[in-house]
Amino acid sequence: MQLIQETADLSAYLAADEAIDHHHPLVVETAARLARGVADSYEYARAAFEFVRDEIPHSHDVGDLRVTWRASDVLEQRTGICYAKAHALAALLRAEDIPTALCYQRFDVLHGLVAVRFNGAWHRQDPRGNKPGVDARFSLDGERLAFTPDPEAGEEDHPVLYARPRPAVLRALRAAPDRPALWATLPTAL
């Protein structure tokens, strides 16, 4: 699949916004801690990915009812669904000047992930969190995502790389008082 930048301006994929608040002290502190001892930006990106994937549980997997959407809140509360975890990873990567896009897959509902830019190309990464049947890995050599859409079932990969979270995603996250309410209102389209 050919990935398509929403904008040709790469600086948009380094920008902070309400959800990807990479100037927040907790994001800055976490990024600095992860950057210690790594050799280069590739190793940092892998460390940030593994931190979000492994150290911040997917709230559904662990039965956490809290809803987070801002990167700093995800890091503070150590919980989030796919969108929130993607926001956290994007913030950590952008904090270290690694262009990062938000991208989506559609199953029964939208699934959120990120793409990082290395060596002139975009590479999708899925920090959702592993569990039995899900084995996502950081890779610049072929995708190792949590899920593969089945076109026969109407599932699809969206090829557009967004600089900011999609409004439908943010509306659902912000409006939900808890995860069960969020589950009832997850967006099915961009």
Residue 172 lies in a domain: yes
Residue 64 lies in a domain: yes
pLDDT at position 113 is 97
| Interatomic CA distance for residues 178 and 29, integer angstroms | 28
Q: Is the dihedral of CA 119, 52, 48, 167 positive or negative?
A: positive
pLDDT at position 48 is 98
Per the structure, the count of domains in the chain is 1
pLDDT mean by block of 10 residues, the chain; 190 residues: 96 98 98 96 98 97 97 98 98 98 97 97 97 95 96 96 98 97 95
Residue 155 lies in a domain: yes
H or E segment and range at residue 180? helix 179-185
Residue 82 lies in a domain: yes
pLDDT at position 37 is 85
Residue 190 lies in a domain: no
pLDDT at position 190 is 87
pLDDT at position 167 is 97
pLDDT at position 1 is 87
State the residue range of the domain holding 103.
Answer: 4-185
The residue assigned the tokens 């076109």 is: 151
Q: Is the dihedral of CA 63, 189, 153, 104 positive or negative?
A: negative
- Helix 82-95 × helix 25-35 angle, to 10°: 70
pLDDT at position 55 is 98
